[in-house]
Amino acid sequence: MTDFQYFGGSVLEMKPNRSTVGRNCATDIGNTGESGPARGEMRLISRAAAILRALADHGDGLSLGKIATETGLVRATVQRIVGALEAEGFVTTNPLTPGVSLGAELARIAGSAHRDVISMCRPHMKILNKHVNDTIDLTILQGSTAVVVEQIHAPHTLKVVTHVGTPLPLHCTASGKAHLSRLSVEQCKTLLTMPLRNYTSQTLSDANAVIASLHSTPEDFIFRDVEEYSEGVCAIAAPIRGIITGNYALSILQTRQRYDAQSGDAERLLLECRDAIERAAGL
């Protein structure tokens, strides 16, 4: 068995996330006692939060029109708020990928909320990276996506790399499946209600079939993505169990060639690393 060192660290208890704002987010914010400009500022913050939550629930990004539909806001209001959020780095637009997505600054702030967990996991991720020579991701379930909160890059030139802050779909990525495995069937159905996108010819886009495959396997099962999300790219993942601050998963990203050559060893090393992290957390 590979010798993974233990790394002590505390687990910060956080309050649960608020539920997604509904379509009536444009209404006033209760009876706060504020009036005039102060109330207007609070309403603006509420609208900006609704836009950010809508984007968090759609990892592929949304057009301005779709954001308006999701939030119940007027399109002109959405455009104005998105412009302000983009200036601060909270959202981003990419000419190669139509629509608006969450920005790097928001990912940086969100990452600070998980700093204790990341600090605890990082040394074990580095050891795993050294043994498998592939990219290692730590993700957390946020809304209906798996968001990368830490990553150790592979040392070689030909490698698979996402980026910290990248939202990944749940139904066709190894990390996403690992997150779903920690939820009840009803919770999975709630997260997989939207039409599931076919990213490649290998993508399973039937929600019931995805859920059935997750809940018919042992707790220590390795979850796989064999070219389901991207052609030529594979991944294996395992959920990190029992951390109270969130639903975390650990994954190894590989090219198809490396996946075929070393999947057995990589799976064993991944589980050993996950178990070491759980011991470090006192689980």
Q: pLDDT tens, 179-231?
A: 999 898 999 999 998 789 999 999 999 999 999 888 766 656 889 999 999 99
Region of poorest pLDDT, from 28-37, 60-69, 106-115, 123-132: 28-37
Q: Which residue has the tokens 């790399």?
A: 161
Work out the number of other CB atoms within 10 angstroms of the CB of residue 145.
26
Q: pLDDT value at position 242?
A: 84
Given a cut of 70, whether residue 10 has pLDDT beyond it is: no
Q: What is the pTM of this model?
A: 0.62
Q: In the structure encoding, which two tokens stand for residue 130, read together?
A: 């050294």
Residue 141 backbone dihedrals phi, psi, to 5 degrees? -75, 120
Residue 197 backbone dihedrals phi, psi, to 5 degrees? -75, 140
Query: 219-247 b/e with 16+ CB inside 10 Å = b?
Result: eebbbbbbbbbbeebbbbbbbbbebeebb
CA dihedral 16, 29, 78, 61 (to 10 degrees): 10
Residue 44 backbone dihedrals phi, psi, to 5 degrees? -65, -40
**Residue 248 to residue 6: CA distance in whole angstroms:** 18
Beta bridge partners of 240: 248
Q: What residue ranges in the chain does DSSP mark as E strands?
A: 91-94, 97-102, 135-142, 145-152, 167-169, 223-226, 233-240, 248-255
Question: pLDDT band for position 276 (50/70/90)?
Answer: very high
The residue length of the chain stands at 283
Enumerate helices (H) and strands (E) in the chain, giving the number of each.
9, 8
Question: pLDDT band for position 114 (50/70/90)?
Answer: low
Q: Are 226 and 217 in contact (CB under 8 A)?
A: no
